[in-house]
Chains A and B, each alone.
Chain A
Amino acid sequence: MMNKSILSAFAAGLIFGLGLLVSGMANPEKVLAFLDLFGNWDPSLALVMVGAIGVGLPFFYIAKGRDVTVLGKQIQMPSRRDIDRPLVVGSLMFGVGWGLAGFCPGPAVVATGAGEIKAIVFTVAMLAGMGLFALISRPEAAKAAS
């Protein structure tokens, strides 16, 4: 069972990554052309969301009615519905970073896999930002590190 769940996660990551390449999401030039709403706007990437949610919706609906997966794993569906300060501030920070470089986390990892030096630099900085969050959100860890 262990190996099956590792294999399925690998397959999901692979299909996800290929989807990012096919869609154009892995190309920051294309992402910035989509985010340039007030310039010469390329609306293509709005259709990535349409395609992803169109396929995702029925499967997420099925998953909502189940407790365990086909492989016997617990289905962990986020349950929070509140819109709090961290959600707003964090999402805004992410949006600004996304608009500066044209990379969000998935495409950054895929472009890293393609061997792009600039993508590797972005990804290392992104992982550092995530590490920083882990330190800040766990006071005892921050104390130990200082």
Chain B
Amino acid sequence: MGLRIAVGIKWVPNNQAVRFDEKTGTLIREGVVSVVNPHDLDAVELALRLRDKYGGSVVAMSMSPPSATKGLEHVLGMGVDEAILISDRAFAGADTLATSYVISHALERLGDFDLALFGQETIDSSTAHIPAQVAGWLGLPYVYYVNDVEKLDEGQRSITVRRLLEDRAEWYELALPAVLGVAMKSQLPRPVRLSHKLRVRTENPIKTWSNEFLKLDPRCTGLRGSPTIVSKSTWTPEVPRRKQIIDGPPEEAARKLVDILFKEGILR
């Protein structure tokens, strides 16, 4: 038997590489490569470790445009067993509520899963909404910032996790199925192996679930199903700063700076 683990991944522009056209205020998309959201790779790694220890299978799901196939191939290369692309024009432009609505229905269609894992947040929008909202739609227990799984009791149908908050560590036991948000940088994602990619490509190709398959009311998905809308955008107003460069050799510049900081009462 073993565990059936679903892991959600997002295909995102690598925001370290994003630049703006200062004249038009638009994103320069040319040459911006997309990647699997790095924090999702922690979730994939945790899923694979659990599968390796307890047996079972890992299915990766991504609600994205078709280009995300590349991202699914990446995690298949890490050793994920199956991959599903949830993709339809009807899902486009979704905010987090409409996105989580579709993902939760896809998880229902997937059927008996024990765990749904997600990265803590994405590098493009960093809302951290999806894991909690999926749990909300499905009425499942959930917890964020999971660093480690201490115990998985298949007989009792429960999992014990440890998580870290600002000032404390907490251990929770959750009934299965459960939703976990995996803490960023908590795992060391394994490298991609070409042999995994090739095997999956022949044995178990990436499936695409469109709305023809999920049969959701288009009033509940995509832009139409999104309560939030971006009504306008502006440049971030710059915080007024003095921008004063202190010249001189390092020792002298340091002395001048310390003088200023004491004079202004910033240092005492």
Do A and B belong to a common assembly? no
